[in-house]
Structure formats: structure tokens, C-alpha cells
Amino acid sequence: MKAFRYASPRVEDEAVDLLEDRWGASELLAGGTDLVGLMKKMVVTPELVVSVNRIDSMRGITADSTGVTIGAGTHLDELLDSPLMDDYPAVKQAIRNIDSLQLQSQSTVGGELCQRPRCWYFRNGYGLLADQGRHVVEGENQYHAIFGNSGPAKFVSASRLAPVLMALGAEIRVVGPSPGDETTMPLEFFYRIPRNERQRETSLEPRQMITHIRLPADAERSCAVYEVRRGAGPADPLAAAAAHCRLRDGVVEAARIYLGQVAPTPWNVEEAARWLVGRTLDERTAREAGEIAVARATPLSKNAYKVQLARVSVERALRLVAGLDCGGF
């Protein structure tokens, strides 16, 4: 690890004040499950690390009639154990899917959303885009993107919470770039596909950070997640889907479906969601929605199999929303 300076501020504004205005010069540290490994491999080499772990305002979960607010520094296992999250069983399921006690108790919600891509070119020092995507296109791309990959970014978004939080309509509170600044935006706007090595996977500026995640109250909706994984173990899923529907007598009134692990951002499959509206959600429509969801996939040379996995993820998430068994395991 390259040597760095370290600060552990107590309030949000102080953290903003400490951050540098160039990506990479400073990094935010939460659980450390991603950042510390990246620093050891010298993939990121900040001069300053700003820990958010002693900022009390970013910890814990509160609820009112309009929804819940989760501090970005709240650990995943705290969500799992909180009765305030009982109305969001799909979020709990997504955390349970992570399936590692250590990751659940060490990772924070904000850190989970901000984790860097797993792309092995990136993790071995070839840069976020690996020579503007050329290494990936000509190389080992079996775990890379099948959507949103026409530009130089071919990696997949690694967050396992983002698809379900976005399906639930999550918003984030962001502070910075100057102390005192604050904005609220849909989580969906947080992710963007970088075009060059000076950009990152998010729309934030280097001196901004997520402080809270807000989920609207979820009374009459049904949400589910499904991940295709390589058997047991902490490895990343190969494809994942989160589906959220408002159902009346089995008929879909509104739907949102997001895919994970298939594109440089969590991927909104709007066509499939729109197609479902007005239809009865059952085995047949779930399957067809899955097909619509992947109709416009653009796999690379070695990852066409992921199209099938993404299709199945959507189908099975929707079956779970409908209260059917998922049709697999």
C-alpha cells in the first residue's frame, strides 16, 4: 500500500472539506472491504483517506409514515436485523444473498453502492476502461457487460443492493462539493457510464458523498430479487434482477425492473416493465417479460451465456413477485 494521510471527521461537512477535488487524490473509507484491497494492489493510491465511520449522522435507520431513511454508514447486518426494514423484505433478501458474515457486518450501505467494478483488467491496474475497452473486447470478457457496452466501459456494476433499491424508488442525499451543499436525487441518477479514464462510475464530483438513502413507504407493492450464482460462496453473481410491481387482483398496475451484474450501471429494463402493465402476472407473462428484457442485449465474444442468465433472473424475480415459486433454486 502506498502511504497516505488519514482523517476521521465527526461531521459530514468536515469530510467534504477534507476531500480533494481530483478523483483519486483522496478516497472515502467506510467498511474497507473494497477500498483496502484496492489500495493494497495499488489500483487506487490516494494521498488522503477520509474515514466516514465516526460521523454519527450517517449511522442508523429511521422511519416515518412516508418511508425509511438509512444512513450511508449503516452496516448491512444492521439492516438485516432492523424491524424498520421488515416492510422491505427484498432488501433483506439482497443482503442475505451476499452470504458472508464478514461482508455483512463490515460493509456499509453507502460503500456497497459505491464499490468499484470487479473487472479483472481494472483490478490488475489496466485502468477503469482497460485501454478504452480494447482489452476487454479482445480479451477475457466472460464476466463483462451485455448491456450498455457500446462505449469504452465494458465492466459490470458490482452493487447487489442498487438494483433492488432502485426498483423500490430509492433516493439518495448527497453533500458537497462545498461544505453546506446538499442535494437529493434518485439513486438511478447516481450511476453513469464513464467515457474516459478521468471519470468514475458515478455522477458525483470528487468532493461529494452519499450520506443517506431514502426508501418510500411500500404498502401495496411487491418486490423481489433473484441472483444467478455459481453455487455457494462469496463470489459475485453472474446476473441479477430486482422487480417491483403494484398488483391489483393479480394484474400489474405499475412495474419497475432493474438488472444487476450485466451493464456498467444497474440496468433499467423499461420495455419489459411497460409491457407488463395491464397484464396478469403469471408464469407465462413472467417468462415473456424476461424475453423482452434481454431482446436488445449486445453480448461480447465470450459472454453470450449471460443473456440467458439475465432473462432467467427477470423471469424468476417476477415469479417471486407474483407469489409463485421461483421456478429454480
User: Interface residues with another protein (CB under 8 A)?
Assistant: 1-10, 14, 18, 29, 31-33, 36-37, 39-42, 48-49, 51, 53-54, 75, 77, 99-103, 105-106, 124-125, 232-234
By C-beta, is 100 or 298 nearer to another protein?
100
Q: How far is the CB of 94 from another protein (least distance, A)?
A: 15
By C-beta, is 46 or 194 nearer to another protein?
46
Contacts of 3 (CB under 8 A, 6+ apart): none
Cβ neighbours, 10 Å, residue 155: 28
By C-beta, is 23 or 126 nearer to another protein?
126
By C-beta, is 61 or 187 nearer to another protein?
61
Q: How far is the CB of 275 from another protein (least distance, A)?
A: 35
By C-beta, is 5 or 198 nearer to another protein?
5
- Residues 239-268 as b/e (b if ≥16 CB within 10 A, e otherwise) read bbbbbbbebeeeebeebbbbbbbbbbbbbb
Which helix (DSSP H) or strand (DSSP E) does residue 97 occupy?
helix 89-98
Task: State the DSSP code for 155.
Answer: -
Q: Between the CA of residue 42 and those of 169, 200, 239, what are the distances in Å?
A: 36, 17, 28
Q: How far is the CB of 102 from another protein (least distance, A)?
A: 4
Q: How far is the CB of 301 from another protein (least distance, A)?
A: 20
**What is d(CA 109, CA 35) in angstroms, rounded to the nearest whole number?**
14
Q: How far is the CB of 201 from another protein (least distance, A)?
A: 19
Q: How far is the CB of 80 from another protein (least distance, A)?
A: 10
**What is d(CA 182, CA 267) in angstroms, rounded to the nearest whole number?**
26
By C-beta, is 93 or 265 nearer to another protein?
93
For 62, list phi and psi in degrees, rounded to 5. -125, 155
For 71, list phi and psi in degrees, rounded to 5. -65, 140
- Sole residue written with cell 429511521: 62
